[in-house]
């Protein structure tokens, strides 16, 4: 059994705590407006000091930016209509900073300002582990994904996946009883693929579905990589079971790396092109997985440390980011000792320092601010 | 194309340079005597200051050790008979320290004092890479081993293997044209398995067979792990293509790790028990291999550095071990920066420091002598 999920240790400019319905509507209006994605949302709020002033400034901003026509700004009525329609089928709205907003997701860069959830909220309270892979998976990999999902479910994890055909569906199905989380590329009212509507109903019994898109949003091609960012952002780690050379699962793995999540890959024969992607991940340093114990062994220390962190629910209103829980002197010097002029991956640092990814990020932030480290691409850092 | 093999950087108590036939006979007598293996050989020579005095001391030593009967000491006549019979079929004898003794092999702990070679000596002048695996290998792995051996052969390597059934035979066969080295568990006159006598003849055209055992030695079970030590000791790295849980190839991989050689493993499906061993190696940090380029990418930097080392042919007579070529200050501080209180594997150090295993070992030795590092099991070291 793995212990429960640690509390978040970073906050964003959105205040922590409950939201009035008015505040929630404003958040929804801003993120549902044309040309506003999570990154722009946070930049606007930071620049104008809040969601309301950002909404007010939006039209003038577009004009000054040289927009030929005014971008569509989500009206109060449209936002209310979405809330009403979605809530009618049991969808809940969580804005960033609210206590029920997913704990790990708030730690990523530019977290979604609003996520919508249908099903059992409790499924998110347990440690989340993603299992993803090809849609046209081999029978052997489907079988392996089922075994892994069942074992990780029984060990206390909620299995996260993308509701796609192949590996995703196998992972969800094998963890229906222990709770599984489907991350949607579209809205809750536009389940894709349609053949998985029944599977989703089964998922909702003990698990949940989550989305950052409008209730009635029909997913388009580029919504799937965006969905993948959510899959990794929600989870402690991502297990890629099978992936060909240019598989979408590799995008999830890349996000996981950037977000400081553990990346796991299931090895496969070099003669099988469907394993090219996972074997490539192994060459880049992903942790090999042949059984659930491999995942648990890598995640347990992170959780164990995470649990001992004090609660971080009390940052002040509109406080800026990065008020991390400070790492001990001991950990700091251990990390500095591990660092050198040769770039090393943050993943390796976490592993070698035997501490949590959160602590490592926090120490790196201090060192960065002190001008003592250099960040390279691909999650590599070195001492200056 | 990879460049040629670097020269040795460590010498042992046996002097470097040519041998008289008399000296060669003494070496052969000592190592062919009962209860004398390579380790005991070197201890005796070190303790008595030479091979001749050790031979003289042997009977008294056994008596004082409480031996019920005198151990069989190889007579001059017996040694001469072996030399004569072996040379009649083209077998050459190389004692440790002679210029033609294999370069990498002299760097391992307790190198065989005498090795015997049949075939083309030139095959040992190129960089050696071992390809090993199960005897009852899958067809897919046989095919992969062939492809890998052919590609590495064409890239300029001599492929080393154990002449066993399965992967070994496939690796030898695919590199017959570019030169391959068969490492024997018995003597040159007792080829095992007998069905590979024809294969060996083909190997000898461009390649060679090597053994540390007496010419007429029938291999017994425990001679195979001993043969595996030679396979890894001769090579820059060992590629394990397929290995079940308790495969002998894992012994070769363990020796390779202990000897500071690169360990490579070919990934396989977790549902295939014949890949359990190789996947286990990946979990322990072996470099994943799906094509020859993976091996070349890891070996080339080692060779590149190795080539720039000055020749180490001139150490004095009977000099003691460890007169390594000193690493530069730059490399030393880079390595120290990479070390910390958390044990790290020497393999990882080599990779992270982007230097040769030889340089890493040399710096570690200095640090060890300075009392600054601690060695743990399994090739792990930490800074004190």
Nearest to B271 among A143, A337, A352 (CB): A143
pLDDT(A60) > 90: no
Determine the Cα–Cα distance for residues B243 and B268; give it in Å rounded to an integer.
10
Nearest to B270 among A144, A283, A344 (CB): A144
B275 chain-A contacts, CB cut-off 8 A? 267, 269
Hey, are the CB atoms on A144 and B279 less than 8 Å from each other?
Answer: no
B276 chain-A contacts, CB cut-off 8 A? 290
Determine the Cα–Cα distance for residues A124 and A234; give it in Å rounded to an integer.
9
| C-beta of residue B238 within 8 angstroms of C-beta of residue B281 | no
pLDDT(A14) > 90: no
B28: helix, strand or coil: helix
Determine the Cα–Cα distance for residues A3 and A224; give it in Å rounded to an integer.
31
Nearest to A283 among B272, B294, B344 (CB): B294
Q: What is the ipTM of this complex?
A: 0.70
Instruction: Find the range with the poorest average confidence among A138-142, A186-190, A238-242, B304-308.
Output: B304-308
Interface test with B, best of A131, A290, A329, A373 (most B CBs within 10 A): A290
A23: helix, strand or coil: helix
Q: Model confidence over A292-325: pLDDT tens digits?
A: 999 999 998 888 743 222 233 322 233 222 223 3
Task: Tell me what pLDDT residue A16 has.
Answer: 78
Sign, CA dihedral A252-A253-A257-A258, equals negative
Interface test with B, best of A245, A291, A337 (most B CBs within 10 A): A337
Grade residue A221 by pLDDT with cuts at 50, 70 and 90: very high
Tell me if the pTM is above 0.90: no
CA distance B310 to chain A (A): 26
> What does the longest C-alpha to C-alpha distance in chain A come to?
58
Question: Which residues does B339 contact at the CB level (< 8 Å), separation at least 6?
Answer: A337, B349, B367, B373, B381, B382, B383
Grade residue A17 by pLDDT with cuts at 50, 70 and 90: confident
Hey, are the CB atoms on B270 and A282 less than 8 Å from each other?
Answer: no
Grade residue A31 by pLDDT with cuts at 50, 70 and 90: very high
Hey, are the CB atoms on B144 and A267 less than 8 Å from each other?
Answer: no
Residues counted in chain A: 384
CA distance B380 to chain A (A): 12
Please name the residues between 129 and 148 in chain B that touch chain A, using a CB distance below 8 Å.
Answer: 140, 143-144
Grade residue A342 by pLDDT with cuts at 50, 70 and 90: low
Question: Which residues does B366 contact at the CB level (< 8 Å), separation at least 6?
Answer: B332
pLDDT, tens digit only, all 384 positions of chain B:
444 433 333 334 577 788 899 999 999 999 999 888 998 899 889 888 999 999 998 888 877 767 677 778 999 999 999 999 999 999 999 999 999 999 999 999 999 999 999 999 999 999 999 999 999 888 889 999 999 999 999 999 999 999 999 999 999 999 999 999 999 999 999 999 999 999 999 999 999 999 999 999 999 999 999 999 999 999 999 999 999 998 999 999 999 999 999 999 999 999 989 999 999 999 999 999 999 999 999 998 888 743 222 233 322 233 222 223 345 666 777 777 777 666 677 877 777 676 777 677 666 665 654 556 666 556 777 776
Question: Which residues does A126 contact at the CB level (< 8 Å), separation at least 6?
Answer: A4, A5, A156, A157, A158, A179
Please name the residues between 262 and 281 in chain B that touch chain A, using a CB distance below 8 Å.
Answer: 266-272, 275-276, 279
Pairing of strands A287-288, A262-265: parallel
Nearest CA in chain A to B242: A269
Q: Three-state SS across B112-156?
A: CCEEEEEECHHHHCCCEEEEECCCCCCHHHHHHHHHHHHHHHHCC
Hey, are the CB atoms on A352 and B337 less than 8 Å from each other?
Answer: no
Phi, psi of A375, rounded to the nearest 5 degrees: -100, 135
CA distance B202 to chain A (A): 28
Determine the Cα–Cα distance for residues A134 and A165; give it in Å rounded to an integer.
8
Q: Model confidence over A69-126: pLDDT tens digits?
A: 777 899 999 999 999 999 999 999 999 999 999 999 999 999 999 999 999 999 999 9
Nearest to B279 among A267, A272, A383 (CB): A267
Q: Model confidence over A125-165: pLDDT tens digits?
A: 999 999 999 998 888 899 999 999 999 999 999 999 999 99
Pairing of strands A208-211, B237-240: unpaired
**Bridge partner residues of A383 (DSSP):** A373
| C-beta of residue B359 within 8 angstroms of C-beta of residue B351 | no
Interface test with A, best of B133, B266, B271, B272 (most A CBs within 10 A): B271
Average pLDDT over residues A221-241: 97
Task: Tell me what pLDDT residue B321 has.
Answer: 29
**Residue A377: exposure state from Cβ atoms within 10 A (0-12, 13-18, ≥19):** exposed
Task: Tell me what pLDDT residue A308 has.
Answer: 27
Cis upstream peptide for B193 (omega within 30°): yes
Phi, psi of B342, rounded to the nearest 5 degrees: -85, 125
Hey, are the CB atoms on A267 and B271 less than 8 Å from each other?
Answer: no
In total, the C-beta contacts within 8 angstroms joining chain A to chain B are: 92
**Bridge partner residues of A132 (DSSP):** A240
Interface test with A, best of B340, B344, B352, B353 (most A CBs within 10 A): B340
Task: Tell me what pLDDT residue A373 has.
Answer: 64
Query: Mean pLDDT of all residues in chain A?
Result: 85
Nearest CA in chain A to B138: A269
The tokens of B352 are what? Answer: 């992270």
Task: Tell me what pLDDT residue A63 has.
Answer: 77
Helices B346-353 and B329-338, axial angle in degrees (round to 10): 130
The tokens of A252 are what? Answer: 């999830």
Pick from B133, B132, B168, B129: which is nearest to B152 by CA?
B129
Is any Cβ of chain B less than 8 angstroms from the Cβ of A354?
yes
A279 chain-B contacts, CB cut-off 8 A? 267, 288, 290
Pick from A191, A180, A181: which is nearest to A215 by CA?
A191
CA distance A278 to chain B (A): 10
| C-alpha B220, offset from chain centre | 20
CB neighbours of residue A113 within 10 Å? 25
Is any Cβ of chain A less than 8 angstroms from the Cβ of B283?
yes
Interface test with B, best of A138, A144, A146, A268 (most B CBs within 10 A): A268
Task: Tell me what pLDDT residue B342 has.
Answer: 60
Nearest to A294 among B275, B283, B340 (CB): B283
The tokens of B261 are what? Answer: 């050689």
Q: Name the DSSP letter for residue B93.
A: E
Q: Model confidence over A265-294: pLDDT tens digits?
A: 999 999 989 999 999 999 999 999 999 999
| C-beta of residue B151 within 8 angstroms of C-beta of residue B128 | no
The tokens of B127 are what? Answer: 């960089």
Is any Cβ of chain A less than 8 angstroms from the Cβ of B75?
no
Alpha-helical segments (H) within B179-267: 197-206, 223-234, 248-258
């Amino acid at each position: 059994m793995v212990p429960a999920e640690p509390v978040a240790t970073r906050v964003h400019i959105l205040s922590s705590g409950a939201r009035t319905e008015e505040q929630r509507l404003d958040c929804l209006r801003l993120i549902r407006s044309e040309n506003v994605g999570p990154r722009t949302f946070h930049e606007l709020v930071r620049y104008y000091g809040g969601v309301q002033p950002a909404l007010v400034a939006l039209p003038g901003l577009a004009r000054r930016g040289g927009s030929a026509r005014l971008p569509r700004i989500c009206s109060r009525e449209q936002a209310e209509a979405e809330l009403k329609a979605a809530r009618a089928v049991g969808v809940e709205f969580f804005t960033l900073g609210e206590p029920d907003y997913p704990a790990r997701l708030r730690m990523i860069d530019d977290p979604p300002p609003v996520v919508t959830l249908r099903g059992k909220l409790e499924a998110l309270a347990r440690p989340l582990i993603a299992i993803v892979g090809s849609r046209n998976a081999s029978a052997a990999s489907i079988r392996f994904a089922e075994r892994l999902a069942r074992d990780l479910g029984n060990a206390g994890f909620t299995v996260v996946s993308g509701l796609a055909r192949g590996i995703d569906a196998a992972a969800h199905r094998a963890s229906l009883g222990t709770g599984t989380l489907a991350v949607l590329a579209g809205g809750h009212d536009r389940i894709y693929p349609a053949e998985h509507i029944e599977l989703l109903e089964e998922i909702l019994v003990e698990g949940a579905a989550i989305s950052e898109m409008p209730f009635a949003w029909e997913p388009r091609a580029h919504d799937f990589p965006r969905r993948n960012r959510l899959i990794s952002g929600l989870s402690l780690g991502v297990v890629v079971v099978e992936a060909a050379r240019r598989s979408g699962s590799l995008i999830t793995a890349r996000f996981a790396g950037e977000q400081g999540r553990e990346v796991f890959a299931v090895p496969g024969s070099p003669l099988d092109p469907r394993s090219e992607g996972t074997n490539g991940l192994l060459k880049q340093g992903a942790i090999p997985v042949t059984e659930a114990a491999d995942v648990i062994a890598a995640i347990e220390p992170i959780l164990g440390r995470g649990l001992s962190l004090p609660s971080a629910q009390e940052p002040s209103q509109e406080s800026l980011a990065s008020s991390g829980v400070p790492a001990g002197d001991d950990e700091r010097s251990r990390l500095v000792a591990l660092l050198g002029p040769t770039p090393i991956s943050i993943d390796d640092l976490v592993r070698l320092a035997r501490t949590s990814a959160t602590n490592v990020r926090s120490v790196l932030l201090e060192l960065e601010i002190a001008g003592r480290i250099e960040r390279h691409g691909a999650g590599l850092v070195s001492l200056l």
